[in-house]
Structure 1
Amino acid sequence: MATVHHWTGLEARALRLALRMSVRTFAAHLGVGTRTISKWEKLLSSTAPRQDTQAILDTALARAEAAVHHRFETSLSEAGRTGAGSVRRTTASGPQAWEYETWADDLERAAVCLSRQDFSFAGVLLGRWLRCTPRELDEKGRYLYARSLTLAGDRRRLEGSMQDLLSAASLYRDAHSMFIELGIPRRAAQIQLTLAVVAEMSGRLSAAASRYEALTSDERLSARDRARARLWIGTALAKQGHAGPAIALMRSAAEDFHDLAEPEEWAVSQQKLALAHRGIGDLTRALCFMDTARSVGRPHSPLEHVQIDTAQAHILLSDPATADEGRAILAGAAHMAGKHGLKHQLRSIETIRDTEEHAWPRSTTPTGTTPARYGTSTH
């Protein structure tokens, strides 16, 4: 796959030709003016796009199919620029040091894509660098490679099928080994915390709780991450039916988030407390915690919307009087989860639906029935 160290009008023209677009269509594709494209093609290598436009061109090339990359390289070769240093093909031997800035930029963009659940483009941005051979990289290159592995693991974890979770665990373990070799203990500990999340998502609740507990006092982690570990112990315990100790741990973590001025994490703790109280049949307090979570936490991504809607629907479904409202909210969450490829969330939604159907048929729900306990995930 081709990467460009510094775009000039010549490389931009080669990309337009490789995409088989007119000047006007290419301008619209990049979001720039037609006159800008015409200027590049008139001046070629004697002009260069602005820095923000350089990033746009990076993205356009990264999104392109393999056939486009081949035509792009062929066009530049015919223009006599092969070996001039502006364009390089990333091979198994790895990128050059001057490409690390582009690599780091791609990692930042991949992280943004993952936060928006744009898994496809995140995969494109990461895949171009994961073709490298890590043993042939210098220390900075190995660090960037380990970060790429971590984000690739995040992508698989967020997608969340059982196969995705297995792939995520493998990628995280490889990243953990590299961070250990590089002597970066904080990153290594963060990977261990994420591996515990994967264990919980895979249904290995006892193993997850044990890993979380070991990390609650790990000084390699920040105070926020140690509080998160404690919160997640509570989550695993609540799923196993140990509501009392689970709620105590969640409250302790929530207090830490408050003291650390972490409002988003505090809102997540309220959501988890809501589900824990639902588990013991205290629906009044569950809804109170849920209202607090919604008033403080503002969902910024499809995943966050699905998580909070699923949690609220889970509580509403526990009461015959609010079950219809819960079903409607759950249907909306399922639609959004399916639209954005959130497979783990879809599994949780189906588990809730199946258990609710077994708890009471819709037409014969007895008034005052105590709701059955069942688990869901908000990771």
Structure 2
Amino acid sequence: MATVHHWTGLEAKALRLALRLSVRAFAQQLGLAIATVSKWESKLAGTEPRPDTQAILDTALGRADAAVHLRFETFLSEMAGPVRNVGRHHVTASGPRAWEYESWADDLDRVVIALSRQNFAFADSLLTRWLGRFRAPELDEKGLYLFARATALLGDLKRDQGVVLGPLSAQHSYAGARAVFTRLGIPRRVAQLDLSLAVVTEMSGRLEVAARSYETLAVDDRLSRRDRARARLWVGTALSKDGRRDYATRVMTAATRDFEDLTEPDDWSVAHQKLALARRGAGDLTQALHHIDIARSSGATDSPMQRVRLAAAHGHVLLSDAATRDDGHLVLGHAVEVAAQYGLVHQLRSIEGIKAMSEGQTGLRQR
């Protein structure tokens, strides 16, 4: 059975983890203030409980069963690292250990799920928990990988919220994650960040620059076939917005075939959504309706973001025909409600742009 000759905050934290208790529950079990336990956890080996508290910890460990003792020894061995001298004390070097890496990775998986549901507040709280806890210089390679992944996900969060440029933007986060993955020598992740940065470029209105980036990435062997197909699709979306709709249609049609070959039904559906907008822009409303009907009948609608995008595309097509204009306004009105509910700022701006464009075109026809 494990014994501790002299307790510090490090051993106390290992015992709490071994008992599988929260800070609050651990403090209550010991009969101590939560602030006392929090101090141990923040200073670890840099703080020592009082003699009477040392005895309380001895008792708690002594009463624990064999499974708790085994976990306690495991956590303590993982947490114990190189020591450095600070005054008269030996203090364990800062930085996460294996058990923290596991928790960090689990939380990042939860962030991915939260972002897919546009639960931005929860995703932000999870990311802040880890990115605010560690600095890159104190991490080893595994920690840096998790740090870069968290930073990239923060970029996804900012992108979906419409915060594209600036010091606290998607672009800033993506660039930071890209620098770390470059340092780690992981080319696939670097290329994925290049793709994300190209999306930010498109969202900021630099369509020609974005299209060139997409074209380069569409043949980049660092990316998977699916990501290359996405890049090819996005070449088309950027060119379509820039007025080059016939060429954009050809590129997007090729991407649609790629998604079919790869058996990626959701991407295939999104491609038809993009094709609908390209044909609408070219004045071919029959084909636009054909493609949007395919997208509406085949695509996944679990994500509020995708529901809004699909409704916005559908409404845009409907507004282009006087006979269906009222239906278009109804569809866009519903899209606005969902976008506002989930804080999809970029989508709200896009819908306002669609409405303004439609009103301008209606005014020209009436003159």
Instruction: Bin the TM-score by the shorter chain.
Output: 0.7 to 0.9
Q: Which amino acid aligns with 2:217?
A: L
Identity percentage of aligned residues = 48
- Tell me if structure 2 keeps the 8 A contact 1:165–1:198: no
Partner of 1:314: 316
Structure 1 residues 74 and 117: alpha-carbon distance in aligned structure 2, compared to 1, 3 A threshold? same
Alignment-mate amino acid for residue 96 of structure 1: R
Cα 1:81–1:309 shift into 2, 3 Å:
farther
Contact 1:270–1:289 at 8 Å: present in 2 too? yes
Offset of residue 16 of structure 1: 6.1
Q: State the alpha-carbon separation in 2 of the partners of residues 10 and 101 from structure 1.
A: 15
Report deviation, 1:129. Answer: 1.4
**Once the two structures are superposed, what CA deviation does each residue of 1:300-344 show, in whole Å capped at 9, x if it has no partner?**
111010000000000000111111111011011011111101110
Structure 2 distance, partners of 1:165, 1:237, is 28
Indicate if the aligned counterparts of 2:164 and 2:170 stay in contact, CA closer than 8 A: no
Deviation per residue, 1:283-306 (Å, 9 max, x gap) = 111011011111111211110100
Cα distance in 2 for partners of 1:315, 1:157 equals 25
With over 3 angstroms needed to count, the CA separation of the structure-2 counterparts of 1:152 and 1:116, relative to structure 1, is: same
Contact 2:165 2:171 in 1 (8 A): no
Q: Kindly state the Cα deviation for residue 8 of structure 1 after the two structures are TM-superposed.
A: 6.3
Aligned-residue offset at 1:94: 3.4
Q: Which letter does structure 1 place at the counterpart of 2:305?
A: L
Mapped to 2, the partners of 1:148 and 1:122 lie a distance apart of 10
2:120 corresponds to which letter in structure 1? F
Superposed CA offset, 1:29-76 (max 9, x none): xxxxxxxxxxxx8xx59xxxxxxxxxxxxxxxxxxxxxx985872699
Output the amino acid matched with 2:95: G
Shift of the alpha carbon at 1:81?
6.0
CA RMSD of aligned residues (A): 3.1
The answer to whether structure 1 residue 11 and structure 2 residue 21 are counterparts is yes
Distance 1:106 1:262 in 2: 27
1:15 maps to amino acid = R
Match of 1:155 among 139, 152, 157: 157
Which amino acid is 1:11 matched to? L
Shift of 1:11: 2.8
2:108 is matched with: 107
Q: Given that residues 196 and 208 in structure 1 are in contact (C-alpha distance below 8 angstroms), is that contact kept between their aligned partners in structure 2?
A: yes
Aligned twin of 1:226: 228
| In structure 2, distance between residues paired with 1:191 and 1:110 | 18
Q: 2:199 aligns with which of 179, 197, 200?
A: 197
Give the AA of the match of 1:118. N
- CA distance in 2: counterparts of 1:71 and 1:320, whole angstroms: 70
Would you say the 8 A contact 2:256–2:272 is kept in 1? yes
8 Å CA contact retained: 1:313, 1:326: yes
Which position in structure 2 is the counterpart of 1:247?
249
Q: Is the 8 A contact 2:272 2:294 kept in 1?
A: yes
- Structure 1 residues 163-185: Cα deviation after superposition (integer angstroms, max 9, x where no partner): 57961111111111111111111
The question of 1:259 aligning with 2:287 is answered no
TM-score, normalised relative to structure 1: 0.75
Separation in 2, partners of 1:337, 1:146? 29
Question: 3-state DSSP class of the match of 2:320?
Answer: coil
Q: Note the C-alpha offset of 1:209.
A: 0.3
Instruction: Specify the alignment match of 2:291 in structure 1.
Output: 289
Q: Which residue of 1 aligns with 2:38?
A: 73
Q: 8 Å contact 1:337–1:345 — kept in the other structure?
A: yes
Residue segments in structure 2 that go unaligned for 5+ positions in a row: 1-12, 42-48, 59-71, 80-92
Counterpart of 2:259 in structure 1: which amino acid?
Answer: F
Measure, in 2, the Cα distance between the counterparts of 1:147 and 1:72: 31
Whether 1:301 aligns to 2:310 is no
CA distance in 2: counterparts of 1:166 and 1:197, whole angstroms? 17
- What do the CA deviations read for 1:97-128 (whole angstroms, capped 9, x no partner)? 33100010011011111111111111111112
Partner of 1:96: 97
What letter matches 1:228 in structure 2? R
1:157 touches 1:164 (CA, 8 Å); kept in 2? no
**Correspondence for 1:122:** 123
**Residues 126/166 of structure 1: CA separation in 2 closer, same or farther (3 Å cut):** closer
Q: Tell me what 2:341 maps to.
A: 339
CA distance in 1, matches of 2:107, 2:271: 32
Q: Which residue of 1 aligns with 2:46?
A: none
Distance 1:179 1:242, change over 3 A: same
Measure the CA separation in 2 of the matches of 1:176 and 1:165: 16
Question: How far apart, CA to CA, are the structure 1 residues paired with 2:268 and 2:167?
Answer: 26
